[in-house]
Every structure is written in structure tokens, then in C-alpha cells.
Amino acid sequence: MEKMKFTTKAVHTGVSKDSSYNSVITPLYTSSTFRFNKVGETNGYDYTRSGNPTRTALCENLAALEGGAAGYATATGMAAVTGVLHLLKSGDHVIAGNDIYGGTYRLLDSVFRNMGVETTFVDMSNPENLNKALLPNTKLVWIESPSNPLMNIVDIKMMVKAVNCEPFPLVCVDNTFPSPYLQRPLELGAHLVVHSTTKYINGHSDVVGGAIIAKDKELGDRIAFVVNALGLAQAPFDSWLVLRGVKTLALRMEQHQKNAHALAEFLENHKAVKKVYYPGLKSHKGHKLASVQMSGFGGMLSFDLDDTVCDMHKLFENLSLYALAESLGGVESLIEAPWYMSHLSMPEQARKEAGINQYNIRVSLGIEDTDDLIDDMSRALDASQFHTVQEIGSEV
């Protein structure tokens, strides 16, 4: 079937017929090595770092979901980022958003800078910033949209146009937040997509993994070389788990974003909340663009707590359905303070420049019942205010 829709692709792509026992699910091949038929002739696999049938099934699935020519599953999301950055060499220049994932920021700023690859971090909400930063040796533009934790939206199509990439710079989009269900950057002109499959694609908070998807075969072959040469590939069991998770991506994303939308609207009207960052809200500055670029607004939001009204630490303690934890995209709801947790790997100045403050709180909505999540947040916010009605009452 040529024209399968997203949900069907997620269930069927890469799942080949098992010739041994007709198993319906992709078998898990944990073997590190494969027998040769004779010298120079294999059944398609020789050694699991270089290739593994279980991992291949996942790679084909992810490539299909992103609409790319080739996909590669890596041990972690950072391994995927590492793979793409190894397309560069000393003397090359990168432009990246100033509010990208903290680990990617650190890798560019502290590791690759020492290897002679300079990065300019810019506010990508304005394409002019990109033009100003562009140098003759700019080989890569790194985009994240929606960004983390303020959910800024970057116009991917316009960025591709602005850098006028022939043959460089390559445009790579970290598509972890929206997942391919809500946004497909290759269709918008990007050359590469990376994922932390740890998040929505696996979706069950029980594996770390990453992926690189390339627009065309030539770029895919270069990625394949780097992934094998650096040893970045994902283990068979982890690949199998991610393949298991991705089949329900569409269903999960629908509930994640239903919950996020409901919580965003609830928080926007709460007196202990100063500001809500969710692209689904009309008040969000990226709302219009997100409505066009994405097919939904996703399951992540953040908000600024009014610290004169509510105690953040008490709030975390008083919540029972939202676990205080980093990461995101799992079936259970998570909450955290980016300034102190997920974004601590960014220098303080960089956090400030990205617009993150000490009272910003990020929420990854799970797939629990919407009313239960709102009730829990409502109760915890009330219980965490400095002067509750009960306290004033008891003082009298």
C-alpha cells in the first residue's frame, strides 16, 4: 500500500513477515553477530553495531513516519545529535536557537567548540537574526520547534528559505517535542530530523533512545557511516521497545494534547499563574504559525508561577498525579522547574537570554483522564498559596 495514513504506517511499517515462525510482531534478535554463508556472503547482517534486523524494522518505521529516505536508531537522543554534528569538521560554523535543549547547547558550546566548530546561538523567532549570523562557513542550522520550555515556534519553511541552502548549510530540526504525528520538518524543507525517542516516540518512560532521519539517500549514507564509525546505534532490545511504543504514538498524542490544552486554559485563568506558554492558546505569540506548521499543539506546556501568591516547592509536594521529574512524553504526567532541573546544563546567562526564570514550571501531560489532572492541579495550587482561607480563618 503506497498511500498509508500515519496511524497505519506506525503500526505496519518495518514489520516484515517472519519467515521462521510467522510471528505477528517483529522478533527481537539479540545476537551480536551473524553467520556468513561463505566468505563475503551474508544474509544481510554481519554484526549488530553495523546492522540488526530488529533495529532495521524501527529505522524503516521512523523514516516512513517522518517521510524521509532513511532512518537510524541511536542509543540516546544525544547520540543522534552527536551523529549529525559529526557531519561537520573543524572550521565549520553552526547556527542554533538560543533556547534549544540544554544537552545540545552544552554539546555545541563545550565539546564541539573545543574541536573547532563554532556555534552562534540566536533567537530564531526572527529570520533576520539568522541572516545576520550566517557566515561563509556556516554548515548547519539547528532548529527546535516548539522550543523548550517556552514553546517558541520557529518558522521552519522560512528558515530554510532564509539560509538558501545549496549545498549548505544543512538544516536539522530536533522534532522531539511535536513528534512526527504533529510536525514533519522534511516536508517543510529541512534536510535532517533528530529525535530523542526517549520521549513521545517510545512514550512509556522505560527506554532511552534517539533517531536521525535523512531527507535523501546520499545524506542517509553519510549518517549511516558516522553512526557505525562512532558506535552510536541503539541496542536491539531498546529498538524493540521503541518499535512497540511507536505503534500507539497517534493515539497517545491525541490524549496528551487534549490534556495540555485543558490544563493551559485552566492555568491561564488562575490567579497564582502569571503567564502560560502553550502554542494552542490564542495568547501565545506562536499560535498562528503553529496552527499552520503543526497539525496539533502538542502535550507540553510551561507557566510562570506568581511567586508572591504560591510556593513552587509546596506545589510540587502537593501534587499527586504529576511526578517531579525531568524528561517528558510518557504516559504519566511529569512536572519540573527548568531553571533548576532540565536546563541546568545551560550557563545562567544563557538561561536568562532564553527567557527562562526561576518560577517557570514545565509540565509534560500524560494520558490520564483530563478532569483528574485539572482537579489535582487545582487542589495543589490552592493548597500551596501563602495565605489560604483556612490559615486566615485559624488566625482569627
Least distance (Å) between residue 374 CB and ligand PLP: 25
Residue pair 105/142 in contact (Cβ under 8 Å)? The answer is no
Say which of 9, 72, 92, 101 is annotated catalytic: 101
Cα 251 → chain centroid = 18
Active site residue 311: no
Active site residue 101: yes
Closer by beta carbon to ligand PLP, 180 or else 210: 210
Say which of 49, 106, 157, 314 is annotated catalytic: 49
Any idea which residue has 504514538 for its cell? 249
Q: How far is CA 336 from CA 319, 333, 343, in A?
A: 12, 10, 10
Using CB under 6 A, list all residues that contact ligand PLP: 76-78, 101, 103-104, 144, 148, 174, 176-177, 196, 198-199, 208, 210
Least distance (Å) between residue 238 CB and ligand PLP: 11
Closer by beta carbon to ligand PLP, 53 or else 245: 245
Closer by beta carbon to ligand PLP, 142 or else 359: 142
Per the rule left: phi > 0, alpha: psi between -120 and 50, beta: everything else, 101 is beta
Find residue 174's DSSP bridge partners: 144, 194
Residue pair 45/51 in contact (Cβ under 8 Å)? The answer is yes
Least distance (Å) between residue 196 CB and ligand PLP: 3
Find residue 71's DSSP bridge partners: 213
Active site residue 174: yes
Cβ count within 10 A of residue 11 = 15
Q: Alpha-carbon dihedral of residues 235, 332, 308, 123, nearest 10 degrees?
A: 40
Say which of 55, 184, 199, 215 is annotated catalytic: 199
Residue pair 142/104 in contact (Cβ under 8 Å)? The answer is yes
Least distance (Å) between residue 76 CB and ligand PLP: 3
| DSSP per-residue string spanning 74-104 | ESSHHHHHHHHHTT--TT-EEEEETTS-HHH
SS3 for 192? strand
Least distance (Å) between residue 197 CB and ligand PLP: 7
Find residue 72's DSSP bridge partners: 212
Active site residue 157: no
Least distance (Å) between residue 94 CB and ligand PLP: 15
User: Phi and psi for 366 in degrees, rounded to 5?
Assistant: -85, -160
Which residue lies nearest ligand PLP, judged by its C-beta? 77
Closer by beta carbon to ligand PLP, 103 or else 127: 103
Least distance (Å) between residue 100 CB and ligand PLP: 7
Cβ count within 10 A of residue 53 = 21
Say which of 109, 155, 174, 238 is annotated catalytic: 174
Q: For residues 396 and 379, what is the distance between their CA atoms, to the nearest angstrom? A: 24
C-alpha cell at position 297: 499543539
**Beta strand pairing call for 138-144 and 93-97:** parallel
Tell me which residues are annotated as active site.
Answer: 49, 101, 174, 199
